[in-house]
Amino acid sequence: MKILPKINYLFSMIPLKPPKQWFQRLDSTTTKFYTRNKKPKISLSTLQKNKDEGGLEAPNFMHYYLANQILYLTEWLNPKEYYNTWLEIEQLDCKHIKLSDLPFITATLKHHNCFKNPLIASTLTAWWKALGITNGQLKTSILSPIWHNPDFKNKKTPLYLKTWEESGITHLQDLFENDKIRSYNNLTQAFDINKSNFLQYLQVTETIKKTTPLDLTTLQPPELAIYMKKISTKSKKLSKIYRALSNTNCNYLPIAKWEAELSITPSTDFWAEICCNTFKMTKNTNLQLIQYKVLHRSHITQQKMHKMGFSATDICSQCTQNTADSYLHALWLCSPVQHFWILITEKLSSILDYRIPLSPNLCLIGDLTMLQPPANQSQSILAALAIAKKAILLNWKDKKSLNINQWQNLLTEFISMEKMSALRKQKKITCFEERWTPFLIALNLNF
């Protein structure tokens, strides 16, 4: 990952948007690197999702570009006391509109003088795009300014009442009290305005109503805007903004297929948990990737080969069941595989002195809800089951050769690697012993 800081540096220094084709070329090169020039089985856009959403958190360069651009917006939102030349120049281009108000004005800003400044234009364009990505909407909200706002024009002139501004009425939120729009009397009392301003009150409210209803539910600011205001004084802003852009609150695993085959109807949290288990069970990326690919059902079965036109039949050739070689069949139901799983669960039950059920929910997707494993044993159970899947994949084309000795050898090799990586810290050694002691005893391992 030496490339990412270099690209991020460019994004932060050059305020202009690279062409769309540049991002496409970068994505295509990255995909080729990930798949070693083979056809990808899991799309790059899925790999770029968060880990609890079924992704691998591969860098999304477009999101990094946007995050770098709107990082600058936090400077607008949180003006500092000290003099800042760039902000001063940008403020001059905005004339009467404050820089901190720009993110809350709609695309009418494109016709304003400030948009001729390429720095302001690129930051605002990135902001609007970021709003779209996070399902936010570029619209008038209670944080929008009332004065000089090109959205609120009366006879082609933006609203402006100097005395009202000086009294403290600046944003739409000032027109509300207790979730309701202030009456004329309330407003004059609250802001100490001369009582002869009723016509101005009507002019202001009617002009705003032409653009948006004065109703608090429609005037809520986008969540990303609230988040940006919140983080504008904090550290690690770039990664916080990047994470906010990448968070989609969806799951990108083939959930429907798993749920149909396993006859389960769990909540959405269940799948986030399954995804997280993949990365919690071990730091060994090879094993994580095996489990990740199983969850994505990315291995090629006879049925898939048939669908792609590479095989005349979709019937499994490795057992006598005369049935289609679906993903569940290949990894669970096929006779030699089923026999293998029986041996594995029996062996694991005897090692742990605790019953490990013969269930595809546990063995394939790593659903631990049916288990109440002894303390600290969840990760070792998941890792041992992932190693069983590794053994099946190693014998993918000749499942009759599957045998428990191979699993035991792979497990021994894995435990020795875990021990080596744990040796670096005393705390990790304790954790290793808690997880693996029953295995060390049962398999008579001593390293």
Name the residue nearer to Zn ion (CB basis): 272 or 319. Answer: 319
* Residue 382 interacting with Zn ion (CB under 5 A): no
* Cα 240 from Cα 64, distance rounded (Å): 11
User: Which listed residue (67, 316, 331, 383) binds Zn ion by CB under 5 A?
Assistant: 316
Name the residue nearer to Zn ion (CB basis): 196 or 322. Answer: 322
Task: Show the binding pattern over residues 331-360: x = contacts Zn ion (CB under 5 A), - = does not.
Answer: ---x--------------------------
Least distance CB 405 / Zn ion (angstroms)? 22
Q: Which residues contact 156 (CB under 8 A, 6 or more apart)?
A: none
Name the residue nearer to Zn ion (CB basis): 134 or 318. Answer: 318
Q: Which span sits near Zn ion by CB under 5 A: 17-25, 104-112, 237-245, 314-322?
A: 314-322
Q: Which residues contact 13 (CB under 8 A, 6 or more apart)?
A: none
Q: Which span sits near Zn ion by CB under 5 A: 96-104, 300-308, 330-338, 419-427?
A: 330-338
Q: Which span sits near Zn ion by CB under 5 A: 106-114, 259-267, 309-317, 435-443?
A: 309-317
Least distance CB 397 / Zn ion (angstroms)? 12
Name the residue nearer to Zn ion (CB basis): 21 or 320. Answer: 320
Least distance CB 329 / Zn ion (angstroms)? 6
Least distance CB 134 / Zn ion (angstroms)? 45
Name the residue nearer to Zn ion (CB basis): 71 or 330. Answer: 330
Name the residue nearer to Zn ion (CB basis): 76 or 327. Answer: 327
Least distance CB 122 / Zn ion (angstroms)? 57
CB count, 10 Å around CB of 437? 13
Task: Show the binding pattern over residues 211-250: x = contacts Zn ion (CB under 5 A), - = does not.
Answer: ----------------------------------------
Max distance between CA atoms of the chain, in angstroms, equals: 94
* Residue 392 interacting with Zn ion (CB under 5 A): no
Q: Which span sits near Zn ion by CB under 5 A: 158-166, 185-193, 224-232, 328-336?
A: 328-336
Least distance CB 331 / Zn ion (angstroms)? 10
Name the residue nearer to Zn ion (CB basis): 328 or 381. Answer: 328
Q: Which span sits near Zn ion by CB under 5 A: 58-66, 147-155, 293-301, 311-319?
A: 311-319
Name the residue nearer to Zn ion (CB basis): 295 or 316. Answer: 316
Q: What is the 3-state secondary structure (H, E, C) of the chain?
A: CCHHHHHHHHHHHCCCCCCHHHHHHHHHHHHHHHHCCCCCCCCHHHHCCCHHHCCCCCCCHHHHHHHHHHHCHHHHHCCCCCCCHHHHHHHHHHCCCCHHHHHHCCHHHHHCHHHHCHHHHHHHHHHHHHHHHCCCCCCCCCCCECCCCCCCEECCEECCCHHHHHHCCCEHHHHEECCEECCHHHHHHHHCCCCCCHHHHHHHHHHHHHHCCCCCCCCCCCHHHHHHHHHCCCCCHHHHHHHHHHCCCCCCCCHHHHHHHHCCCCCHHHHHHHHHHHHHCCCCHHHHHHHHHHHCCCCCCHHHHHHCCCCCCCECCCCCCCCECCHHHHHHHCHHHHHHHHHHHHHHHHHHCCCCCCCHHHHCCCCCCCCCCCCCCHHHHHHHHHHHHHHHHHCCCCHHHCCHHHHHHHHHHHHHHHHHHHCCCHHHHHHHHHHHHHHHHHCCCCC
* Residue 328 interacting with Zn ion (CB under 5 A): no
Least distance CB 302 / Zn ion (angstroms)? 8
* Residue 319 interacting with Zn ion (CB under 5 A): yes
* Residue 193 interacting with Zn ion (CB under 5 A): no
Interface of this chain with Zn ion, residues 96 to 135, rule: CB under 5 A: none
Name the residue nearer to Zn ion (CB basis): 187 or 328. Answer: 328
Q: How many residues bind Zn ion (CB under 5 A)?
A: 4
Radius of gyration of the chain (CA): 30
Least distance CB 440 / Zn ion (angstroms)? 35
Distance of CA 188 to the CA centre of its chain: 47
Least distance CB 309 / Zn ion (angstroms)? 21
Name the residue nearer to Zn ion (CB basis): 335 or 412. Answer: 335
Q: What angle do CA 308, 322, 311 make, to 5 degrees?
A: 20
Q: Are 351 and 379 in contact (CB under 8 A)?
A: no
Residue type at position 274: I
Name the residue nearer to Zn ion (CB basis): 292 or 332. Answer: 332
Name the residue nearer to Zn ion (CB basis): 302 or 379. Answer: 302
Least distance CB 320 / Zn ion (angstroms)? 8
Which residues of the shown chain bind Zn ion in the complex (CB under 5 A)? 316, 318-319, 334
